[in-house]
Amino acid sequence: MHCPRCQTENRPQAKFCEECAAPLARTCAHCGAELSPTAKFCPECAHQVAAGRGAQARFASPESYTPRHLAEKILISKSALEGERKQVTVLFADVSGFTSLSERLDPEEVHALINRAFELMLTGVHRYEGTVNQFLGDGLMALFGAPIAHEDHAQRAAHAALDMQHALTGYRAELQQARGVDFRMRMGLNTGLVVVGAVGDNLRMDYTAVGDTTNTAARMQQLAEPGQIVVASATERLIAPYFELDPLGTFTVKNRAQPVAAYAIRQPKSHVSRLAARASQGLSPLVGRDEALAVLTQAFTAACTGRGQVVFVVGDAGIGKSRLVYEFRQRLGDGVTWLQGECVSFGQSSPFLPVIEVLKRIFGIEDRDPESGIAGKIDAGLEVVGDDAAALAPYLRYLLSVDPGDAGVATLDPMQRRGKIVDAVLRLAAARSRRRPLVVLFEDLHWIEVASEDFLKRLIESLPGMAVLLLLTHRPVYQPPFGDRTYFWRLPLQPVAQEDAVRIVRATLGAEDLPPDLARLIARKAEGNPFFIEEIGRTLVEQGAVRLEDGRLIAAASAATITVPDTVQDVLAARIDRLGEAQKRTVQTASVIGRQFALELLQRVSDVQDQLERSLAELTRIEMIYENVEGREREYLFRHALTQDVAYGSLLQAERRRLHARIGAAVEEAYPGRLEERTEELVFHFTRGEVWEKVVQYAREAAGRAAGLFIDARAVELYELALDALARLPDSPERTRTGIDLRLRMRAPLWRAGRLEPLFQRFKEAEGLAARLGETGSLDTIYSFLVQYHWAKGEHQRALEYGQRCLEMAEARNDLGLRVTGKFYMCWACEGLGRYREGVEHARDVIGALEGPGEAERFGLSGLPYSGVCAVASWCLAELGDFGGARELLRQGERVAVAADHLYSRTALAICHGYVLLHQGRPADAVAVLGPATKTCREKNFAGWLMLGLSPLGYASALLGQTVEAIPLAQEAIAAQEKTGAFVNRAYMHMTLARVYLEAGDLDRAEASARTGLEFADQHAERGWRGWNHWVLGEVAARRDPPDAARAEGQYQQAALVATELGMRPLAAHCHVGLAKLYGQLTNQRKAQEHLTVATTMFRSMEMPFWLERARAAIALMGGPV
């Protein structure tokens, strides 16, 4: 049994609502017998039920009691309203003590006095354009905000409630005197969302409450004392500025986890009514921005001399950033080239989106241009750069999604290609700026994506030699990552002063003379935000409550009675609801397309195509949208983003899904040859339209593009989106193959992001799927990854096992790529285990296999395997003391990396070169190599190599006496690796940090770090690093005061044993030095001399003079033999 008052579902046999105690059964007014819901006559006494008595007659349908003018409004807007989400205020009212009243009076008397009360109450509801949706026996339910829309619906409901109580006061006195009846009503209000259903010709509106909107209103009514009006907190927030309220405390509401605060309305603070005026066409004047315009002019003047400038225009939404730069552009005139690109809210997966927009403007590219036409325009536009045009064209063509004309562009390393693209755009900009000054505007940086942000960094670095003014607008939430430079200007826009706000209001309303109290009211409500001021002014015009006579506003009431909406969202919602049906539907459909929408797309999806042109013309006239005359096709923009947001939010989710799906299909139909550049747009619409097969298709394409430009976080996000969409499709072998492919494609972006566990999980899933289908090619990729994964986790033996499996499969199928990728990480695994000679052998196998044409092949790895194995083998040879061999391998790897112009591989070689130099005892040379290499790692997000580079850079700096700078570097390496979940070489990093602490004289921290390093070495079987950590602990014990000789000797001997077993000659030499110093302290000169002689011989044979001299100096300081 459904309660008509509070919407609660009750048990079928219930006679009263379990939630609000409303009667659930109809009774005969003559005999009191219970009636069925459809009865026309009483089954007990045969009296006619619907005989004009009670609510069944006069109040049976809204059609019978709704005034004609309100009925016309409802009928005009009903089709536009159906299926919308609306914010409304619900009012419940019932008679206090209705049960006792029914017992005292005849049923017909009860109905008569209730009907009279309903008549009085209807007047109050209708006065404020609310609608009584149903009568509930002894009460009613009224809605404000639907089906007739009002932005101030909560205030109207409160006023209506007070009016009803006032009207009933006289009626109560009348009944008290005539019948001795104390007749009082209690009322409850709440504000919330409802989904509007059908509005019938009888004016009854079906609706579905979102959440507990009606339930909470019913609960407030139950809380009310007789004659009291109680509102929930959702309503209180909206009416508090206008009414005096008494807090009643908090109360529980069914199905709500948190209690709800309740308030009683006492009286309004002031009576208010509406005011409006006619508006003039065109933009309101730019006011309060003279200083900002002067700064822009000054910056432009400096830029024209060849000293590029950057101006950041910062402010909240609606504060006038775009309006300011528009005015500045008008003042510059035609003597400058103006280029601009906009960032969009869903553009995070659209690399270089604003840059592409700038290039299209430069080249004059239209969306309908064929590929050959686009290529021709690019070539023509590049004539300005002279002889370099042919070299730059392929990269700009690639960016603009046409055939680059050079097959090598597509096969380039993504980071390298990205750099070439940026270089090409910068050289084009520089060439054009030499002909005439450029103003380049990037709007809404708070929505910028990584690739464009990186481009801006490069552009900003290049500006000092270019005649370019770069304008960047953004909201305060965005923090520009460009540092601080002498040619930076910041323009934070503040709210306009009240006198300037008055000027805007006058221009908006087309009135020279504005009543001062009205001007102050609008300025106060708008809080100095020009957009708020303009929109509030336009709302007043459209309300029709004022008239314009000879340039003067004539108001129908004083400013004290004018209601100005509290929020711009309310203003815009009301403006949209007041549109005609076709215009409203056009705005809603366009809002789903986006802030900017092409006419062609709108035509393809509009439900009012026959009225579309007229609707757009009207929307343009009232300045809700405007036509973008600079667009490459006929397109429009919402004047303000909030208008789009409000229109979009009014649509039901099902309708949004339908429109998004239709828009995605329309994009495919409209731009069949240009879909590559629209993949993110297609992902956006098909995801929200839940067209899952299309989401898989386009998310995979967009993810590949993002990964190719090293925008790894977004690439992973898109791959995950594709997997989520795939899971919603029916199971099939093809779906499984696609799932395998998506997971395997996540390898590079997840690896570079250091997210090892999610990557491992995805590959294990792929392994199970591939095994099920017998996809051997996929299993090859999976096993080669598992070599890489287990090495990174420090599980070197398992890495070798998977590597051997890869080699066996490669041998069986003669698969060079699988052999190379398997061997590559087997080299690293051997290095981790201390099997240095074996690691070098694996490296030489790869070098031999790739010698010649294969040297530049990557086989899906981030770097060149040829250069990579040279790097790791040099590390192994350094541990063996073969520094000459290490340098030779580094030269071989560098030759290949330079020839391929592969920055990633060159950086890896530099890190290993720095380690070799440091190990040999050339700290200054090591810093000279490692400093720039780690800087590159930071700039390009080479996270793994950054960790490996920071540790030796820190120790080299410490050896040069820079311990204060060295400690944070060594600590950062460890912290960075801890975030990734990797463990490989963690023992080495702790050992290096311990050596830095030794140089700083902090023996306690050195010992703690070395012991941690020893634990990691033991856990991961990293025998080489185990030896080095023993050596550090020997140094700590020997340097104690007094020395802990026994412990020092034991640690040195354990380190020396490891060195002997693994052939680690440098470690062995350091152990001999340590023992020489120790025995010298113990006055055992014979042993000291023996160990020193061995160390000296070893250091000389390995060309390690730095360590030899340090050893001699230390022993001499102790008075020992040198």
pLDDT tier for residue 6 given thresholds of 50, 70 and 90: very low
* Per-residue pLDDT tens digits for 202-224: 444 455 555 578 889 988 999 99
If you average pLDDT over residues 839-851, what whole number do you get? 95
Return the minimum-mean-pLDDT range out of 19-33, 420-434, 845-859.
19-33
Closest CA to 1029 of 1067, 976, 982, 1064: 1067
Mean pLDDT score, 845-868: 91
With cut-offs at 50, 70 and 90, classify the pLDDT of residue 68: low
Strand (E) or helix (H) holding 759: helix 756-773
Confidence (pLDDT) at 263: 96
Across 113-117, 223-227, 427-431, 877-881, the highest mean pLDDT is recorded for 877-881
pLDDT in tens, 1064-1076: 999 999 999 999 9
Confidence of residue 261 (pLDDT cuts 50, 70, 90): very high
Residue 334 has φ and ψ, to the nearest 5°, of -95, 5
Flag whether pLDDT at 410 surpasses 70: yes
> Using 50, 70 and 90 to split pLDDT, how confident is the model at 46?
low
CATH for the stretch 573-651:
1.10.10.10
309-314 vs 488-492, strand pairing mode: parallel
Contact 310, 489 (CB under 8 A): yes
Residue with tokens 């799927």: 769
114-118, 980-984, 1024-1028: which range is least confident on average?
114-118
Percent of the chain with pLDDT over 70: 82
Higher pLDDT, 327 or 642: 327
Q: Give me 296's structure tokens.
A: 């822009």
Calculate what percentage of the chain has a pLDDT beyond 90.
47
Helix axes 1023-1039, 1003-1019, angle to 10 degrees: 160
Distance of alpha carbon 114 from alpha carbon 748, whole angstroms:
75
Report pLDDT for 79.
47
Both tokens of residue 490? 């910041």
pLDDT interval class at 272 (50, 70, 90)? very low
Strands 552-555 and 229-232: unpaired
Phi, psi of 193 (to 5 degrees): -85, 145
Better pLDDT: 478 or 26: 478
pLDDT at 815 over 50: yes
Closest by Cα among 991, 975, 915 to 943: 975
| List of residues 6+ apart from 1038 with CB closer than 8 A | 1044, 1045, 1048, 1074, 1077, 1078, 1081
Range 698-715 average pLDDT = 87
Residue bearing the bigger pLDDT, 126 or 879: 879
Q: What is the pLDDT of residues 122-147, one digit of tens each?
A: 888 888 888 887 777 678 888 888 77
CB 1026 within 8 A of CB 987: yes
Which class for 13: exposed (0-12), middle (13-18), buried (19 or more C-beta within 10 A)?
exposed
Higher pLDDT, 30 or 709: 709
d(CA 731, CA 739): 11
Higher pLDDT among residues 522 and 51, named by residue: 522
* Better-predicted residue by pLDDT, 563 or 394: 394
Contact 746, 785 (CB under 8 A): no
Q: Give the pLDDT confidence score for residue 712 in this predicted structure.
A: 82
More confident residue, 838 or 652: 838
Residues 757, 790 contacting (CB under 8 angstroms): no
φ and ψ of 338, to 5 deg: -105, 120
Answer whether 956's CB lies under 8 Å from 996's CB.
no
Provide the residue type at 272 as one letter.
V
Q: Where are the domains of the chain?
A: 66-268, 290-492, 510-566, 573-651
Average pLDDT over the chain, rounded to whole?
A: 84
Task: Specify the pLDDT at position 561.
Answer: 45
Q: How many CB atoms lie within 10 A of CB 349?
A: 23
Would the pLDDT of 269 be above 80?
no
Highest-scoring range by mean pLDDT, 144-148, 426-430, 561-565:
426-430
Helix (H) or strand (E) holding 868: helix 865-880
Residue pLDDT, tens place only, 290-333: 999 999 999 999 999 999 999 999 987 778 888 899 899 989 98
Q: What single-letter DSSP state applies at residue 467?
A: -
CB burial readout 25-62, b (16+ within 10 A) else e = ebbbbbeeeebeeeeeebeeeeeebeeebbbbebbeeb
Residue 73 in this model has a pLDDT that exceeds 80: no
- Hey, what long-range contacts does 697-706 have (CB within 8 A, 24 or more apart)? 699/725, 700/741, 700/742, 700/745, 701/676, 702/349, 703/349, 703/745, 703/749, 704/745, 705/351, 705/679, 706/349, 706/351, 706/749
CA distances from 356 to 169, 483, 631, 677 (A): 70, 25, 14, 10
Separation of alpha carbons 955 and 962, rounded Å: 9
Residue position matching structure tokens 């003047």: 301
Q: Which residues contact 1088 (CB under 8 A, 6 or more apart)?
A: 1075, 1076, 1077, 1078, 1079, 1080, 1115, 1120, 1121
pLDDT of residue 273 exceeding 50: no
pLDDT score recorded for residue 29: 47
The span from the CA of 1111 to the CA of 1120, in Å, is: 11
Tokens 């810093």 locate to 927
CB 95 within 8 A of CB 139: yes
Mean pLDDT across 470-489: 90
Position 552 pLDDT exceeds 80: no
Most confident of the ranges 85-99, 123-137, 837-851, 977-991: 837-851
Return the CATH class of domain 290-492. Answer: alpha beta
Give CA–CA dist 338/1026, Å, rounded.
Answer: 63
242 pLDDT band (50/70/90 cuts)? Answer: confident
Tens of pLDDT along 707-749?
A: 877 788 889 999 999 999 999 999 999 999 999 999 999 988 8
Residue type, 323: R
Summarize the confidence of residues 649-677 as an average pLDDT.
Answer: 89
CATH of domain 66-268: 3.30.70.1230
Conformation bin of residue 211: beta by default, left when phi > 0, alpha when psi is -120 to 50: left
**In the predicted structure, residue 59 carries a pLDDT above the cut 70:** no
Q: Are 142 and 154 in contact (CB under 8 A)?
A: no
Across 63-98, b (16+ Cβ under 10 Å) vs e yields eebbeeebbebbeebbebbbebbbbbbbbbbbbbbb
Band (1122; pLDDT cuts 50, 70, 90): low
* Secondary structure (H, E, C), 169-213: HHHHHHHHHHHCCCCCEEEEEEEEEEEEEEECCCCCEEEEECCCH
Least confident of 173-177, 182-186, 237-241, 269-273: 269-273
pLDDT at residue 500, rounded to an integer: 85
Which residues are 194's β-sheet partners? 86, 209
User: Is this prediction's pTM over 0.85?
Assistant: no
Could you tell me which residue, 33 or 909, shows the higher pLDDT? 909
User: What is d(CA 685, CA 124) in angstroms, rounded to the nearest whole number?
Assistant: 46
Per-residue pLDDT averaged across 236-245, rounded?
A: 86
Q: How does strand 229-232 pair with strand 185-199?
A: parallel
Higher pLDDT, 879 or 204: 879
The string of pLDDT tens digits covering residues 516-548 is 767 766 666 666 778 777 767 766 665 554 556
Question: For the purposes of burial, counting CB atoms within 10 Å of the CB of 273, is it exposed (0-12), middle (13-18) or buried (19 or more)?
Answer: middle
| Rounded mean pLDDT, 673-680 | 85
Q: Are 1026 and 1007 in contact (CB under 8 A)?
A: no
Classify 139 as helix, strand or coil. strand
Residue 284 predicted with pLDDT over 50:
yes
The helix/strand/coil state of 552 is strand
Per-residue confidence (pLDDT) for residue 563, from 0 to 100:
43
Q: Who's near 5: CB < 8 A, 6+ residues apart?
A: 17, 20, 22, 92, 94, 136, 139, 141, 218
Please state, in angstroms and rounded to a whole number, the distance separating the CA atoms of residues 330 and 285: 13
Laid out side by side, the sheet with 438-443 consists of 337-342, 438-443, 468-474, 309-314, 488-492
Residue 75's pLDDT band (cuts 50, 70, 90): low
Residue showing tokens 């570079």 = 752
**Residue 673: per-residue pLDDT:** 78
Structure-model confidence comparison of residues 15 and 146, the more confident one: 146
Instruction: Give Cα separations from 367 to 634, 670, 727, 1043 (angstroms).
Output: 11, 10, 34, 79
**Tens digits of residue pLDDT in 757-787:** 888 899 999 989 998 888 777 888 888 888 9
Q: Give bridge partners of residue 441 from the DSSP assignment.
A: 340, 471
Q: Is residue 737 within 8 Å of 704, Cβ to Cβ?
A: no
Confidence of residue 161 (pLDDT cuts 50, 70, 90): very high
Decide if pLDDT at 440 tops 60.
Answer: yes
Most confidently modeled range among 81-90, 556-565, 763-772, 1094-1103: 1094-1103
For CA atoms 509, 510, 516, 520, give the dihedral sign.
positive
Q: In the predicted model, is pLDDT for residue 1103 greater than 90?
A: yes
Beta sheet of 635-638, edge-to-edge order: 596-598, 635-638, 625-627
Question: Whole-angstrom Cα distance, residue 625 to residue 1014?
Answer: 68
Euclidean distance between CA atoms 1041 and 1052, whole angstroms: 18
pLDDT over threshold 70, residue 285:
yes
Over residues 30-45, the mean pLDDT reads: 58
Cα distance between residue 590 and residue 606, in whole Å: 9
